[in-house]
Amino acid sequence: MRHITLPALSLILMTGAAAAQSVDMSSLYSVDDADVLGPDGSKIGEVEEILVDVTGIPVAAVVEAGGFLDIGDEDIVVSLDDLTFDSGNYSTLMTAEELSELPKWDD
């Protein structure tokens, strides 16, 4: 049984590796440090992390907002429903006041 199991396992691992290498890289974007623009088009922060739920589905972004030169800024949790992705950046219709009332993220 041992000789049958190991080749089968090898085949499964090789198939998974081949599938992972077949991802079309031309359509992927990195959102790490993507700008977040407010309703008037000005930068209000940048994406630090994307948060997923227990099933692995992205549901929110941690946005570093406020402050000046990383002094006094806060990491806030913004639902992906409140963000629109366009040309490598996110935008929101939320005002600075509304953003300041969102939950804080402390990693």
For residue 83, the domain's CATH number is 2.30.30.240
**Residues facing residue 36 across a β-bridge:** 45, 90
- Size of the chain in residues: 107
pLDDT, greater one: 27 or 74:
74
Q: How confident is the model at residue 2 (pLDDT cuts 50, 70, 90)?
A: very low
Domain count of the chain? 1
Query: What integer pLDDT is reported at residue 13 of this predicted model?
Result: 54
Q: With contact defined as beta carbons under 8 Å apart, do 62 and 77 qualify? A: yes
Pairing of strands 35-37, 89-91: parallel
- Flag whether 10 is in a domain: no
- Flag whether 82 is in a domain: yes
Give the residue numbers spanning the domain of 78: 35-100
- Flag whether 74 is in a domain: yes
- Flag whether 61 is in a domain: yes
CA 52 to chain centre: 8
Query: What integer pLDDT is reported at residue 57 of this predicted model?
Result: 93
Provide the whole-model pTM: 0.70
Q: How confident is the model at residue 76 (pLDDT cuts 50, 70, 90)?
A: very high
What residue type is 36 in one-letter code? Answer: V
Asked whether residue 84 carries a pLDDT value surpassing 60, the answer given is yes
- Flag whether 29 is in a domain: no
